[in-house]
Amino acid sequence: MSLIKLLGFMPELTPSLILISVLLVVSIPLLLHLIIYNNTSDTLPTILLTGPSGAGKTALVTLLERGRTSATRTSQIPHTVEASLPIKTPVASSRFRSPNDPTWEVTKKLLIQDTPGHGKLRHYAMDSISKSQNLQGIVFVVDAADLSFEASEGARQAAEYLHDILLQLQKRATSSKTSRAPKEMPVLIAANKLDLFTALPAPLVKSTLESEITKLRNSLSAGLLDSGVGTKHPDAAGEQDWLGEVGGGPFGFAQLQEFNIQVKVLGGNVTGVDGSDIKQWWDWVGSIL
């Protein structure tokens, strides 16, 4: 007995039935795509923006969001904006993806979270490092012109803040309760205001900050020794409170690769007589998405 006879009926292929069938075939994939798209939009990759006050963070956020700068004021609270990579900026996750893929444009969007640089408000950045579920990288903005003077207070303050950020990332990596290697956390030190004559080039910004962090580590070690702690090792109070390799030698950002923290220093300028130049920073962002 055939299936048609068993069911006892044969549906008549009317124009309305054909139309309904076509609509279902077309609409179901579209509905699934919208659901996936909305879920993706809710989990956009996040870039955390940090750095001392006056380095140009808020102006950079405006430029990243709107493609142009405008008058800004010192941030007192963190705020998040959605930005899109420039069309010609390559994205690491899209290198094997066709431009016709409907999710291709979604991967070009990201969230930028700006945090205050004032000393009393830096806990916002620390909280974001600890709690953000979709943190893809950190941009630490420094005023390259403010680091150029010998024994610069700006260099010392920038290095202290950067030390705390990197130490927080190191603790995040070492506190993992699994045997898996910690998730890689790229850090960009954005040397801003390179259009100014007194600004240090990116390689000197790197060496200056490494030197200042070395001084800070030596000072912390001396403080422990003076207090009777750490008579044998500078990390006797706990390795988690010591940034980089244990010991009294010079600090270098390469030491953090052991904790899957990749630090890069790139120059640029948010404003200037000839306009902004942040292409290297955009390229870095694209390389981690």
Spatial CB neighbours of 112, under 8 Å, sequence gap ≥ 6:
46, 47, 49, 61, 64, 65, 80, 81, 82, 83
| Beta strand extents in 31-184 (DSSP E only) | 46-50, 79-84, 109-114, 135-143
What is the reported pLDDT for 162?
97
pTM, two decimal places: 0.79
How many beta carbons lie within 10 A of that of residue 215, not counting itself? Answer: 14
Strand extents, DSSP E, the chain? 46-50, 79-84, 109-114, 135-143, 185-192, 261-267
Q: Are 129 and 66 in contact (CB under 8 A)?
A: no
Query: What is the token pair recorded at 250?
Result: 């010079």
Q: Which pLDDT score, from 0 to 100, does residue 3 have?
A: 44
- The pLDDT score that the predictor gives to residue 273 is 82
pLDDT of residue 41: 45
Residue 272: which region, alpha, beta or left (left: phi > 0; alpha: psi -120 to 50)?
left
Whether residue 258 contacts residue 62, with contact meaning beta carbons closer than 8 Å, is answered with no
CA nearest to 189, candidates 169, 212, 209: 209
259 neighbors 182 (Cβ within 8 angstroms): yes
**What is the reported pLDDT for 152?**
77
Those residues of the chain that have pLDDT short of 70 are: 1-13, 15-18, 22, 26, 28-42, 72-73, 95-107, 149-151, 179, 181, 223-240
Residue-level pLDDT at 38:
47
Identify residue 27 by its one-letter amino acid code.
S
Calculate ∠ Cα 58-64-69, nearest 5°.
Answer: 60
For 201-257, the pLDDT digits (tens) are 999 999 999 999 999 998 887 765 555 544 444 444 456 688 988 877 899 999 999
- Provide the pairing of β-strand 261-267 with 185-192: parallel
Q: Identify the pLDDT of residue 90.
A: 84
Query: What's the half-sphere exposure (Cβ side, CA atoms, 13 Å) at 115?
Result: 24
Residue type, 129: I
State how far the Cα of 183 lies from the Cα of 89, in Å rounded to an integer.
Answer: 24
